[in-house]
Amino acid sequence: MKIIVAIDGFSSCGKSTMAKELATYAGYTYVDTGAMYRAVALFCLRNGWMTENAIDETQLQAHIHELTVGFQLRPDGGQDTMLNGENVEALIRTLEVGNGASRVSTIGFVRRELVRQQQIMGRRKGIVMDGRDIGTVVFPDAELKLFVTARPEVRAQRRYQELLGKGEQITFDEVLANVKERDYRDTHRAESPLRQAEDAILFDNSDLTRAEQMEKLKRIFDEAVGRCQH
């Protein structure tokens, strides 16, 4: 029997790594909902509907139904985000599009449309979906819900290493301030703020290695599937 796994949590806490590895273990489909918000941001930027100060919500609302976001498996096991059939994976991973995604994700009609598409993807179950509102809004009846977190300093350290690796000139304190700012924005927005669903398992991975994290995750998943079979 297949279940739905909803993984929510703060930014830079390793959610997508966990979700991807779990999907591989379970033989399930992995859906990165952050990529969907990023694709909407790209759509807006390309059409000139997003400037530094404003988003043309009238235009976006008039055209949002023309947009379909999907995923395509790569031979290396990874997956690419597809916007109306075009591979936009590399284009949506920039800082500009990330910031745009954070802005479009506060718009109610954008969330409603993406949630609708996400619910269709989960119809046949066998899915691991990661985001901010999966266990609370998209699949409130998911058989397994995880709320992933790690101490801000630990998340900032991981992000700092990642950025240094990309050659960015940045200090640890700047990264930590950014992590805290994003936490505040994610948990305080009016539309679907990030919060732990009552029936979600809190998963703090601050002091776990990747291997330990995966062991724990597999155990939780196997138990959830076992419970559903009874």
Cα distances (Å, whole numbers) of residue 90 to 38, 83, 167, 215: 11, 12, 18, 31
* Cα gap 224→116, rounded to integer Å: 25
Q: Binder to ligand DC among 29, 79, 81, 105 (CB under 6 A)?
A: 105
Q: Which stretches within the chain are classed as H helix?
A: 15-26, 33-47, 57-63, 95-104, 108-121, 152-165, 172-188, 210-229
Site membership for ligand DC, residue 135 (CB under 6 A): no
- Shortest Å distance, C-beta 18 to ligand DC: 13
Site membership for ligand DC, residue 113 (CB under 6 A): no
Site membership for ligand DC, residue 30 (CB under 6 A): no
Stretch that binds ligand DC, among 82-90, 99-107, 206-214, 220-228 (CB under 6 A): 99-107
How many H helices and E strands in the chain? 8, 8
Instruction: Give the total of residues touching ligand DC (CB under 6 A).
Output: 12
Site membership for ligand DC, residue 29 (CB under 6 A): no
Task: Identify which of residues 3 and 97 has a Cβ nearer to ligand DC in the complex.
Answer: 97
* Cα gap 70→101, rounded to integer Å: 16
Q: Binder to ligand DC among 81, 102, 136, 149 (CB under 6 A)?
A: 102
For the stretch 3-39, what's the b/e string if a residue is b when 16 or more beta carbons lie within 10 angstroms of its beta carbon? bbbbbbbbbbbbbbebbbbbbeebebbbbbbbbbbbb
Q: Binder to ligand DC among 21, 89, 113, 133 (CB under 6 A)?
A: 133
Task: Identify which of residues 17 and 225 has a Cβ nearer to ligand DC in the complex.
Answer: 17
- Shortest Å distance, C-beta 226 to ligand DC: 28
* Cα gap 57→41, rounded to integer Å: 12
- Shortest Å distance, C-beta 221 to ligand DC: 20
- Shortest Å distance, C-beta 94 to ligand DC: 12
- Shortest Å distance, C-beta 112 to ligand DC: 12
Site membership for ligand DC, residue 155 (CB under 6 A): no
Residues 6+ positions from 15 with CB-CB distance below 8 Å: 7, 8, 9, 130, 148
Using CB under 6 A, list all residues that contact ligand DC.
Answer: 11, 33-34, 37-38, 98, 101-102, 105, 131-133
